[in-house]
Amino acid sequence: MRNPYAAAYVAGAVGTGALGILVSVRNATLGHPPPYAARHIARQVLSRLFGRWMSRREASRWAFALRAGYGPLLGMGWGLVRMRTSKWPLVGSGVLLGLGVLAFERMAFPLFKATALANTWSRAEHVWLFAQTALFGVVTEATLRQLVK
């Protein structure tokens, strides 16, 4: 792909798609969606924004829209800063992206009151958040490497 920004946008979308597959496994393993599930975040944040409690169905629709924008934008941001890590091994560079996303989310969740406090989450929920951000990072980086030669 000639346009590196378009490639980064597409890579973020592919990373988001891979994350969507992992979410089913995560929820089944935990036995419930974690506090940072996209629909929970959509429900918390947008209910306050709209001034009314959103239904579960509305929250699920908004969650899809939020993921559809968030992942590709993260991919574009990564495309802007990955110059130094593009020569690193795939997993190292991808996990670095995942750690960046994890740090951003751990900062943003309490700031926007999007989730219950992290100290109330189970150990498994913390592990799954790391796993999903790492997967997003590795898949996004792998896609970007394929698109930008």
Count of domains forming the chain: 1
Residue 50 lies in domain: 4-147
pTM (2 d.p.): 0.93
Check whether 149 has a pLDDT greater than 80: no
End-to-end alpha carbon distance in the chain = 8
> What would the mean pLDDT of 56-64 be, rounded to a whole number?
93
User: In this structure, are residues 33 and 39 in contact, taking their beta carbons and an 8 Å threshold?
Assistant: yes
Q: Measure Cα distances from 25 to 76, 82, 131 in Å.
A: 27, 29, 11
> For the chain, what is the mean pLDDT?
95
